[in-house]
Structure 1
């Protein structure tokens, strides 16, 4: 009798442990549900996956590489773990859409549990959503309505073709680069001749203006400005420093050129000695000699660039 009593007590304890294990297992199952009971084709619907577990348990929820069929993954929103009264809850909402035509569609995502070096996948409860039809069928109709054909083309807005334009711009840049490399010396010489001619025209215009002002006012300031302009022009033209040289040094620099020597001696006598000639022909001749000399130097430099 005692033996049967011990056997019955052991069997009762075993059944109670099994019931507790079953109850615990039921509590440990991840829960999933759709946030709406129905959805349309291509419409985004939220799928919630939650799992209540012990705080010391390491849990991994599915990411974008999981199997979502018959749904397509669009995105997800995850929430921080909340622990209350010795129980932690993880929750993630997945944004999905479907293009399947089944009236009822199901999804059950597994949750991965880390236990040392091993992992255990625990399936969640299945969530169900119904597909809402957008094409209505008339009551009592045996077949679906006949589709009406419409082949009239609809206007399509023109879009900018970035790849082709970028490729064209690249080819054009390469062509321009090759042209520049091949004709670099010619282009540089043409540009130098252009600037040389432009500076010479500007010098002649400004030089004539100073001479005109001197003729009208007989002011030494205008004569000094004309001489300074002439020196600065030759300095830039020939890349020298005659604008900082004295008259004697300038004459020596140009190897005692007759026009330069004569013109500068006349202008020095007028400017520094205040010795105006009774006739204006002498000062006019000085201006003409300096202008003609500048013309000759311009032609000399221009011929070097054309060679």
Structure 2
């Protein structure tokens, strides 16, 4: 009987001791995450503040989202982080995020997580979703208005839209042309100058021969002192341009000492006698002057070609 009573007392004690121990154990603190918008409305493209806080036991390692996190439908701009505040083994962290949105929906929603870093994995504590209203600057939505009520004005008149000058392309083309021109000038400049000088000489000689031959032909039909003087002046001018010597500024007497060509001097004297005297024999001296011009032209042409 005594054994049975003792056994019953032991059984009651074993049952009560665990319960008392459990009652005396302090309950574990939980992780609490809160979040929300500071403002109640926003403008598209303008930053708005979103706070995120976490209260947790000091021994836990908690991490807040950074710039690499996805904030859809918002975009991350910056953040302000406040130092951890710990009291009685409980830590408190808070961050204010600056985010912007370019969505046009009237209501925008955002919820952010806080991560508990464990030895091999992590635990996510998601905040409740908060709502913010977009301030609309336009009083109507085009997508919701009937097409016959749209505020549009029909016009079929031609409107001249001035074209924009493409300065970058112009600069590239201009510089390219300049570079090519410089290359051509330094590589082929002498040859090009020679070509144009020869072409100019041929053209000048052709014009001289045409006009001089016409004047001599007129003198063949009838002598004229005026025509003779014109032909001589034409010849002197051409020779001066061809040889760069002062033919037009020299008299026949001065030319004797300058040119030292007796045949040329006699022809000039004969022509002077016809102009200022009574001689009409000018065809042969004028033809001789033309032959001199042809001969000097060929000599000068060869000098330019092989110079």
Which bracket does the TM-score occupy, shorter chain normalised?
A: 0.3 to 0.5
TM-score w.r.t. length of structure 1:
0.48
TM-score w.r.t. length of structure 2:
0.48
Larger Rg: 2
